[in-house]
Copies of this chain bind each other. A is one copy, B any other.
Amino acid sequence: MSEHEARLHIIPLGGLGEIGKNMLAIRYQNTIVVIDAGLMFPEEELLGIDVVIPDISYLVENREKVKAIILTHGHEDHVGALPYVLKEINVPVYGSRLTLGMIEGKLKEHQLNDVKLHVVNPRDKVQIDDIILEFFRVSHSIPDSLGVALHTPLGIVLHTGDIKLDQTPVDGQVVDFRKLAELGEKGVLVMLGDSTNADKTGFTMSEKVVGNTFDELFGKCEGRIIVTTFASNVHRIQQVISTAAKYGRKVSVIGRSMVNNVEIAQRLGYMDIPEGIMIEMEDIDKYPPQEIVIVTTGSQGEPMSALTRMATADHRWVGIRPGDTVIISATPIPGNEKLVAKTVDLLFRQGAEVIYEREMGVHVSGHAAQEELKILLNLIRPRYFIPVHGEYRHLMKHAKLAESLGIPRHRIFVAENGSIIEVGRKKACIAGKVPAGRILVDGLGVGDVGNIVLRDRKQLSQDGIMIVVVTINRDQGQVVAGPDIVTRGFVYVRESEELIEDAKARVKEALDFCEKRNITEWAVIKAQIRDKLSKHLFDKTGRRPMILPIIMEI
């Protein structure tokens, strides 16, 4: 293929039209570079599903071309699918020191011991065939987050990663504005931009704001202070610790994932923990309340989290008591609103003061709002713009923002997972589609739960099941045992004997009906039973349990 025919293919495999499972492939000739490999937590209707990961059949089909997976940062929606991906295609992984530090444990859990992990630093360059990867610092709600520019023979493809423009980040490491400006000045062919907060006006507040709030609250509190936040928000935890130090309080970290992350961040030098400030949870009661701060998991109201267990007096070492102040330093992820509200109520019931309101300044987002997005677009002024990371409305809002800044509409692509955005020097278009979608992980099964299983779970969850068993003597066509009826999740059997006896009578009618007409096909007999029972049960109860006739033959 001569060079003037060369094309870039940009293929989002996840994270478009959804929040989560971010993954995007960039292909140039025989080289594919993958950015992120995230998971998503299942929506309510995916009953029983543990996690959702992207469909990577396109990568598997082109496995010999896939040369690198880049991780922009360590959040689950960017790294959580990595073990599943590496089991299919074991390729080198690039990421910052903290990001790779955080995934090591997970890879071990999955018995992935021969993964090639390459630590990269901001401004590092890495050559992958004809592409040079150039990493740059961004701010987000986890330290050591990166964006990446791919210098390809056709031009620069720039991916912001998850980004906010924090002018006063906790670690002093601001977004690499000058690198962004330099790339913009050189000319960026394609920009891929984080859209998560594209429907929020104004600026996202700095992480430091939360530190100031902590300072104010810690200064006033006379009892124990319990702060809950995301386990990966190392800077938030740092601010809790720093504020505790200022007010002479000891700090105990509770909750497995948070303990892990603090351990990793501290070991890798991402935290500044004053000597002697940390105490074990067993020792909390050795100090007076005004000398204690607890940082803990459970900010999403997760029923098994440390905070929920404290609030339900189910935690081994810590219980909530009057005088405690609990700070919910997080906002509910969409779908978790009720769980969080329930936790707040539980805490109040235990007598704690709870600070949870949005306007209290105890949480800030990790994603850029509209004014920041405008700054990014104006710094970079790409030829083509592709909003990524967001539900459809966020992508649309981001696209409209770009248009309002003068990027022509035909150079903005609101794409879908699986879209092939083909980019040449002179033009770009959506040139096709690769398989994309959600792969459901349930227990050990990856992809074995499909629509039929989910539909059945749905029906079972709503009205339960009625199982009808009959044993028939095949030779004589006679019922020799049954009908027996067993139900689960439908009615409380001890109070419904009449209903069950009636149901048996209906089954007998159906069997008689079939016998008289010499119907011997099981499928027809079962259908008869199902129809008769279904109508009967709905008339009596207004419910539609799954009806499962089983015919045994002797």
Contact = CB atoms under 8 A, between A and B. Distances in A.
A128 B546 CA distance: 50
20 contacts: A17-B345, A44-B338, A47-B461, A47-B489, A48-B461, A341-B393, A345-B392, A445-B491, A448-B495, A453-B464, A453-B489, A456-B488, A458-B461, A460-B465, A465-B488, A471-B471, A471-B481, A471-B552, A482-B552, A486-B550
Nearest to A543: B443
Given A453-B489, A467-B467, 16 more contacts: A17-B345, A44-B44, A47-B461, A201-B359, A344-B393, A442-B543, A443-B463, A444-B541, A445-B543, A453-B492, A456-B464, A460-B460, A469-B550, A481-B552, A484-B550, A486-B548
B337 A553 contact: no
Contacts of A246: none
Chain A contact surface mostly: mixed
A150 to B, nearest CB: 29
A426 interface: no
A291 interface: no
Nearest to A454: B489
Contact of A341 (B334, B345, B480, B541): B334
A457 B448 contact: no
A246 B324 CA distance: 56
A448 B48 contact: no
A356 B392 CA distance: 14
A460 B484 contact: no
Contact of A491 (B199, B448, B486, B490): B448
Contacts of A464: 48, 453, 456-457, 460
Contacts of A490: 453
A84 to B, nearest CB: 14
Interface in A291-305: none
Nearest to A44: B44
A357 interface: yes
Contacts of A396: 348
A391 interface: yes
Contacts of A199: 357
Interface string A87-131: 000000000000000000000000000000000000000000000
Contacts of A443: 463, 538, 541-543
A427 interface: no
A246 to B, nearest CB: 28
Contacts of A43: 338
Contacts of A491: 445, 448-449, 453
A393 B91 CA distance: 51
A286 interface: no
Contacts of A335: 337-338
A554 B441 CA distance: 42
A349 interface: yes
A452 interface: yes
Contacts of A442: 463, 541-543
Interface in A344-365: 344-345, 348-349, 354, 356-357, 359
